[in-house]
Structure 1
Amino acid sequence: MATVAFHTLGCKVNQYETEAVWELFKNEGYTKVDFKEPADVYVINTCTVTNTGDKKSRQVIRRAIRQNPEAVMCVMGCYAQTKPKEIMDIEGVDIVIGTHGRESIPQLVKKYQEERQPISQIENVFKVDEFETLNVTQFSNRTRATLKIQEGCNNFCTYCIIPWARGQVRSQKPDIVLEQVKQLVANGYYEIVLTGIHTAAYGEDLEDYTFAKLLAEMDKIEGLKRIRISSIEASEVTDEVIEVMKKSNKIVNHLHIPIQSGSTSVLKRMRRHYTVPEFETKINELKAIF
């Protein structure tokens, strides 16, 4: 039986997408082995949010090649999207695919095994309008499920490469999200963490639908016990979101709210969409409520 090994660098979205690609391989009859073991196929999901992410990605790729030079080496993710030639120039890399079209990876592996020709499949993410559905029904060694509901970012902060790696905001259709949640609950996952590249931007590209509306609809799903939000900007904790949280017994009163600098002038140069006083006001408001 063919074997596949995975290594994931970076964020929760990458972790989710690796699980989804594993599910695709599992459906093709593959067995998953530890990344330190010899495998027929290695899939490395890369990160490029910093130069360190690029460097670590290259190190992991070369380590896998040394472990089994005959294996099919597939590199995916943000670093692959932004610098595909840099990766393809590494001797031993066979397939490079970015942050879209990942559902085709098992077929690309099969194509490479038949033709033995390197494959680079990189789409222009700024021309991608549809959310890429990568479904996960079972999670490896986890009792809580993660669900990716959103892709991309429209902020274009001065220091950030993510829009070029992920494109602009695309939201999963609400009915699909709710059906995925029901499936996860049916599979025994009673706590779900909502994640995305810019999670609370969910709905920006949809007509008359918001992140708060999605939370309210999820709250009605029978059998679901806890809803967590992986990360949310202070400016996106809207009155609507707060009202849904106040009424819900399922949404966990724990928010990861990042702050990039304690200086308003620095935040302005970073093109962040808030000031330090605005951040402080929102945090104090939340503390008073919850």
Structure 2
Amino acid sequence: MKVAFITLGCRVNSYESEAMAEKFIKSGWEIVDNDEKADAYVINTCTVTNMGDRKSRQMISRARKANKDAVIAAVGCYSQVEPEKVAEIEGVDIVLGTKNKGDIIHYVNKFIEERNQIVNVKDVFTDKKFEDLNIDEYQDKTRAFLKIQDGCNRFCSYCLIPYARGGVCSKNPEKVIGEIKRLAEHGFKEIILSGIHIASYGDDLKGDWNLISIIEKAEQIDGIERIRIGSIEPRFFDEDTISKIKNMKKMCPHFHLSLQSGCTETLERMNRKYTAEEYKEIVYKLRENISDVSITTDVIVGFPGETDEEFEKTYDFLKEIELAKMHVFKYSPREGTKAAAMKNQINGNVKDKRSAELIELDKINEKKFMSKFLDREMDVLFEKKL
């Protein structure tokens, strides 16, 4: 039996798809590319934007066209938020949310046996347990992503992710450290600690565990040469945290520091928990303490009520702080969020114009950052023999 995976969205989804694939392999299935004919297709969906929803639907349809007799399983964030809509898509046999991906084999076998559509989406606000999806055999043998946290309690006004992933839940710290040790024993040199809101790791745990304590433990593990963390919010970097990171030898000097807007008024409507000035201070503190630090970010243009003046504040802010790289997104209204009901929605042409301006600025800033490394020797990790 052959199974193919189609994964949309974030690194956490990628990690979970690899973990699900491993469960299929252990059950005797063969993993094939998603453009090949398979007996089952697992579409790991995304709902962070309208585009994510649309691509999820498109991938489901593509899988059905590839083999009309295959088992089609739609799992993940879009399925969690809109299970009824997903179940109505022609050809969908199994609908699972974000809390039971580990049971995928059970549900595929159940459908093959009974041939009745299965819809099993748990309530993410009552099921607060961390789903322990582990990977024993990574495809990449140099770098490993490790999911250590799920969920988010922030409720930004534009975002559905808390409804798709539920509240904060953290992986048992002893299991995290054990998995990092096992990865090192298998030859992995670099780990990327990932989560939906990774800065909140440990908030739901007893004791003093937090993200920094995990990183400090990982620093002590022989064989691990590099440690990275996924996208993180600015306020994680207080003076104590920066001081600790400054003295770490294995921590990569790269932080994806979520911004979304360089205008404090816009940030307030977004329900972000910092001001533009606070963000700038953190950027400068990181640069003062960590040499060659690379700071990247995400920016949303065209958020409801974003006036020309507010956008200019964002543009000038980003021009001033010169980040190494930024990903620019045009605001996408998500039904059920506060932002979708706000007045003064911005039309598409304005979003396109603002997006284009920031993308051009990003090219300039990125080139400035990269030029600092001309004619310098830097350490690298080899991924394969040439």
TM over 0.5: yes
Partner SS state of residue 132, structure 2? coil
> Hey, what's the Cα distance between the residues in 2 that align with 1:233 and 1:31?
39
1:243 deviates by 2.6
More displaced 10-residue stretch of structure 1: 69-78 or 142-151: 142-151
Identity %: 46
Higher relative contact order (CA 8 A, sep 6+): 1
Q: CA RMSD in A?
A: 1.0
Counterpart position of 2:324: none
1:142 deviates by 5.5
> Hey, what's the Cα distance between the residues in 1 that align with 2:210 and 2:36?
45
Counterpart position of 2:161: 162
Largest Rg, 1 or 2: 2
Partner SS state of residue 65, structure 1? helix
> Hey, what's the Cα distance between the residues in 1 that align with 2:288 and 2:124?
41
1:238 deviates by 2.5
1:95-149 CA distance string (max 9 Å, x none): 0000011111011100100000000110000011211100012223453100000
Answer yes or no: is 1:88 the counterpart of 2:87. Answer: yes
Partner SS state of residue 254, structure 2? strand
Runs of 4+ residues deviating >3 angstroms: none
1:217-271 CA distance string (max 9 Å, x none): 1111111111001111111113332233122111111111121111101101111
Counterpart position of 1:186: 185
> Normalization by structure 2: what TM-score?
0.74
Contact residue 141 and residue 187 of structure 2 kept, 8 A? no
Counterpart position of 2:262: 262
> Hey, what's the Cα distance between the residues in 1 that align with 2:72 and 2:197?
30
Counterpart position of 2:318: none
> Hey, what's the Cα distance between the residues in 2 that align with 1:178 and 1:238?
24
Counterpart position of 1:212: 212
Counterpart position of 1:242: 242
1:149-171 CA distance string (max 9 Å, x none): 00000001111100000000001
The letter of the residue matching 1:234 is P
1:213 deviates by 1.0
The letter of the residue matching 2:196 is I
* Runs of 5+ unmatched residues, structure 2: 291-386
> Normalization by structure 1: what TM-score?
0.97
Partner SS state of residue 139, structure 1? coil
Partner SS state of residue 149, structure 1? strand
1:185 deviates by 1.3
> Hey, what's the Cα distance between the residues in 2 that align with 1:224 and 1:132?
25
Contact residue 193 and residue 227 of structure 1 kept, 8 A? yes
> Hey, what's the Cα distance between the residues in 1 that align with 2:203 and 2:70?
42
Counterpart position of 2:314: none
